[in-house]
């Protein structure tokens, strides 16, 4: 339980790093349901590389890099998009280069294809 609680405190930061490379994306959560089937989000993306160089930020939704920086050690950008599924951003040093850091934007779906999962019980407190 302690491990889970510790994980909970770390999750909101949710920036993965490969040694010195850090990619931070905010926000990291989109909540959807039948009334709001997509999130209109503007992501603030920031990265830091271990040393000066050529860096690019990609995501799973597009084949091309969102943006690349030459001879840079850090950078940031905004990315506005409509979100309906979980996806990731990642930082690398160009197409087909190893991934240095990733950040995943989660989609929490509050409705369900199985409407029994939304039923309320009176037997328990029914908080969750």
Partner 1 sequence: MRTLTAFLLLSLAPALAADDSPWRLGAALGYGERNNPLVQSDDVPIVLDLDIAWFGERFFFDNGDLGFTFVDNASVTTSFMARVNSDRLFFGRTNTKFVNFDLAGAPLAAEVELTIPDRDYAIEAGVELLSDGRWGFLQVSAFHDVSGTHEGFEIDANYGIGFGRGNWYIEPAIGVSYKSEELNDYYWGVRPGESSEALPAYEAGDGINAQVKLRASYYFSRDWSFALSAEYERLNDEAADSPIVDRDGVLGYFAGVAYRF
Q: Which is nearer to partner 1, 19 or 35 (CB)?
A: 35
Assess 119 for contact with partner 1 (CB under 8 A): yes
> Angle at Cα 21 formed by Cα 17 and Cα 22, nearest 5°?
60
- How many C-beta neighbours within 10 Å does residue 66 have? 17
Assess 60 for contact with partner 1 (CB under 8 A): no
Q: How far is the CB of 26 from partner 1 (least distance, A)?
A: 11
Assess 80 for contact with partner 1 (CB under 8 A): no
Looking at 70, 78, 80, 120, which residue binds partner 1 (CB under 8 A)?
120
* Cα–Cα dist 59/33, whole Å: 24
Please, are residues 110 and 31 in contact by the beta-carbon 8 Å criterion?
A: yes
Assess 78 for contact with partner 1 (CB under 8 A): no
Q: How far is the CB of 30 from partner 1 (least distance, A)?
A: 9
* Cα–Cα dist 110/36, whole Å: 10
* Cα–Cα dist 109/120, whole Å: 17
- Which residues contact partner 1 (rule: CB under 8 A)? 1, 4-5, 8, 11-12, 14, 27-29, 31-36, 106-108, 110-111, 114-128
């Amino acid at each position: 339980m302690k491990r889970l609680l510790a994980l909970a405190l770390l999750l909101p930061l949710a920036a993965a790093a490969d040694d010195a490379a850090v990619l931070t994306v905010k926000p990291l959560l989109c909540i959807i349901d039948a009334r709001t089937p997509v999130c209109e989000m503007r992501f603030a993306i920031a990265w830091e590389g271990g040393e000066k160089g050529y860096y690019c930020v990609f995501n799973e939704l597009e084949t091309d890099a969102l943006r690349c920086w030459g001879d840079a050690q850090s950078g940031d950008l905004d990315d506005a998009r409509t979100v309906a599924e979980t996806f990731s951003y990642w930082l690398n040093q160009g197409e087909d280069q190893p991934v240095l850091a990733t950040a995943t934007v989660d989609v929490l779906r509050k409705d369900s294809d199985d409407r029994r999962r939304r039923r309320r019980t009176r037997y328990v407190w029914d908080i969750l």
